[in-house]
Structure 1
Amino acid sequence: MKAAPEAQLRLLDLQELDTTLDRLAHRRRGLPELAEIAKVEERIGGVADALVAAQTEISDIDREQKKAEQDVDQVRARAERDQKRLDSGQVSSARDLENLQSEIASLNKRQSDLEEIVLEVMERREEAENRLRAVETDKEAADKELAELAERRDAAYQEIDGQAELTRTARSGVSGDVPDDLLKLYEKLREQHRGVAAAALLRGQCQGCHLQLNTVELNAIRAAAKDEVVRCEECRRILVRTPESGL
């Protein structure tokens, strides 16, 4: 392949810009905020589960409390009804009177027991509310931390994307100075060699694979025409000759 020496030198400028773009893309993917966000999101997921569990617990306790209070009301209403019968003097039989008094005593005992259950349920509800408030506090803190991390991430994205846009603009200008066939080869080699397709020959060493060329290889490059596109025998990257090549 043939290309003017000036066009070959532009490959080094193009490679530098592409390396910068690759570095920016790597930096964008590896922002520390991304790992921190993932951890916080995982924490929020756990908090969300705990929040549902706490809310469900309170809902269950509320149903339990409502049932216990209804039981108390029913027993109280029956005891009051029996007490009215007793106070009205409607019961004249001694045996019926004794049975009624016994039932009232039993109902009062049952009411007392049920009221103890209501109090115990209310205490459990208060404890559940405390747990719910603690979970809500954790969620609020996690949401706040996530928002702050997202803000830092977005600011970093904006900075990186701004640099990348400027670099792409510069790349567009440089690539226009490279012939199409050479540019096509360059792009192909970039895919094959982890983004590095062109390297300078510096004091007899390929800056792509950093291996020193032997005398035979250097003599072949010296003998090549200036517009000949040469390749490194080791890494097969485009080898660009410069005044510091040591030829």
Structure 2
Amino acid sequence: MTTAPTQTARAARLDSVSKTFGTGAGSVIALDAVSLDIERGRFTAIMGPSGSGKSTLMHILAGLDTPTAGRVWLGDTEIGTLDDVALTLVRRERMGFVFQSFNLVPTLTAWENIVLPFELGGRRISAADREWIEGLCASLGLAERLEHRPHQLSGGQQQRVAIIRALATRPDVIFADEPTGALDSRTSREVLALLADACARFGQTIAMVTHDPVAASYADRILVLADGSIRHDIGRTSAAEVSALMLSLEAAA
């Protein structure tokens, strides 16, 4: 296993990462020599027009895809050098995932869905783990819904279950892919506030792909991609400012 020099402030890192799909004249450059640090304890939003490379960027950060060139780290572990078994263990033990579609198991209760990562990893739930999870459930108003199955929960409640599941093992990074895309505006705001709170209160690191300027406005940092490159790297700002930035990119295209 190859490791980078210790960088305690970095939760994840890309070094000159490129990704090309296809070969010859029909090839498409999805990422073009991107270097990036995802800082610990911060909420990072990744934006860009369709085809900008934002989803590819997240998939490579999460070890769900491999770069054509360049190196990828999770903390001090270079994940590009890992075999499939080791990479699966890293994703299971050190990453959390939240998707637009919730990805809850319909036959399991909310509680069983939340603790599923422990079951899959063969990891016993300690008293400290249980206290942590129950505290999350109580703070998110799910304490009375833990015996319900997904179809008995609202969309917002299902997404809260998915977020608690991602937080349950206290991963190094949570990757969120359009986590509010299937929710109404009010519920979206509640879920985004929860993600921001997870960073502020618990020091969680979150990287979120979104097309929504309102969602991006909850983040501490906003990365805007175009044509496979990072064009803007800015701090927290308003949804109106993000919208204007996206419109300027589209106008220049």
Q: Provide TM-score, normalisation by structure 1.
A: 0.20
RCO higher in structure (CA 8 A, sep ≥6): 1
Structure ranking higher in helix proportion: 1
Higher share of residues assigned strand: 2
Q: Which entry has the higher C-alpha Rg, 1 or 2?
A: 1
